[in-house]
Amino acid sequence: MGKETVKQKEIQKFVLGVNYWPIKKAMYWWKCFDLAEVKEDFRKIGECGLKVVRIFLLWEDFQPTPSKVSSPAVRNLVAVADTAYECGILILPTFFCGHMSGINWMPGWMLGDRTNRTRFPVMSNGRLYNRRILNYYTDRDLIRAQRLQCREIAGALKRHPAVWAYDLGNESSNCVVPPDRQSARNWLEIMAGELKYSSGGCQVTLGMHAEDLEENRNLWPQDAACSCDFLCMHGYPFYLEWVDDPLDVQVLPFLGEITRWLGSKPVLFEEFGIYSQIVIKKSYPREQENLFTDYYGQALELLRLSGMTGALVWCYGDYHPDLWDKPPLKDNPHERHFGLFTHDGSPKPAASVIQAFARRPAYLRRYVDTPTASWLDNEDREQFYRNPLSELKRLYRKFKKAIEKGPL
């Protein structure tokens, strides 16, 4: 092989991907697995130019008891990986799910006593509960059970060419908040270490979200960076009370840059998107309905320019109406319509935006060549979590003023 040029060392392709649940199955996918459906979906995903598919290992489906990992579920996961490879795409399996679409999905053995104080209902064995989730960051038996899941699944997929990386959780702080930062760091070190060893060295990350920046949930980007190869952030302006415009796309690179600044690691923007039936606070005239599709193009370009390593759309498809009377879609109707494809499988205009972006020679510089944004000069990352929401608001105002002056 010839000597690598300086340019090749400095640039890296921007990663485009999507979060995936099947249209007709949603979170009930693994209980009624259909490989033909996955093959058709992955074919469409590949045609859109999306290269990474994030999939979710629903905890009770993959680990029905603390001492047993489901062999059928693991076989189905391997079949998904094989299908991805055949379609020329990669997968990002996400463990310990966990929080998903307004519900916490947990096996029965992870539940404690009944309580009326849970923020999110818990779905377990086909029923909704208001029950406490056991603290899986510190309990030795639960840590042993999680290590088993990591070992069995990563071992089954060891060095599989379709595995891009592993994710240790989806917005995990919505399930359980670690009692302190040290227990979070210990948990991350144990789980990441188990995955790396059992997989033969695969990269590991953690699916963090904006609420991990708004509140001190004892899991900081600095802590995740100690064990993760790269960091992740999820962001939706219409969920953020401190953002005036529910379609303020600028908040996405802001959240990504804050995460990178705090953790000093490259950042994948792992979730972004809008739902097509969004009820927005401002009255946009009908002739500006293209704002919904423009949002995706603007988001991708801004994330690329801000130095994120890539972006994953939420999500593949709108869910079929047959699922609308089931959790989580019954009580969270907006979750029905986030897809790039409608429930009949036809592409929305946003899918064309993604496809057009994928065809561009869009590159970003590697993290080592992407300096911290100048508007963060003289800011102290160790002070951020003393009052995180106040700091986030202040820094967003500072970010907005900086971009008014021109490109950052």
Q: What is the pLDDT of residue 198?
A: 98
111-124 pLDDT tens trace: 998 776 778 999 99
Beta strands in 286-360 (DSSP E): 310-313
Q: In what order do the strands lie in the sheet with 99-100?
A: 99-100, 103-105, 122-124, 127-129
Write the DSSP symbol of residue 240: -
Q: Are 78 and 152 in contact (CB under 8 A)?
A: no
Q: What is the pLDDT of residue 303?
A: 95
Q: What is the pLDDT of residue 404?
A: 82
Alpha-carbon distance of 305 to 297, in angstroms, equals 12
Q: Are 161 and 85 in contact (CB under 8 A)?
A: yes
Alpha-carbon distance of 21 to 259, in angstroms, equals 26
Going from the C-alpha of 215 to that of each of 209, 220, 298, the distances in angstroms are: 11, 10, 28
How many residues are given for the chain? 408
Q: What is the pLDDT of residue 3?
A: 36
Which domains occur in the chain, in start order? 6-404 (3.20.20.80)
Q: What is the pLDDT of residue 286?
A: 46
143-160 pLDDT tens trace: 999 999 999 999 999 999
Q: What is the pLDDT of residue 6?
A: 32
Alpha-carbon distance of 224 to 212, in angstroms, equals 11
Q: What is the pLDDT of residue 9?
A: 40
Alpha-carbon distance of 299 to 311, in angstroms, equals 9
Q: What is the pLDDT of residue 7?
A: 34
Q: What is the pLDDT along the chain (408 residues), one digit of tens a residue?
A: 333 333 334 457 899 999 999 999 999 999 999 999 999 999 999 999 999 999 999 999 999 999 999 999 999 999 999 999 999 999 999 999 999 999 999 999 999 987 767 789 999 999 999 999 999 999 999 999 999 999 999 999 999 999 999 999 999 999 999 999 999 999 999 999 999 999 999 999 999 999 999 999 999 999 999 999 999 999 999 999 999 999 999 999 999 999 999 999 999 999 999 998 764 544 555 445 577 789 999 999 999 999 999 999 999 999 999 999 999 999 999 999 999 999 999 999 999 999 999 988 755 444 445 567 889 999 999 999 999 999 999 999 999 999 887 655
Place of tokens 């009377």: 325
Q: Are 91 and 162 in contact (CB under 8 A)?
A: yes
Q: Are 22 and 41 in contact (CB under 8 A)?
A: yes
Q: What is the pLDDT of residue 361?
A: 72
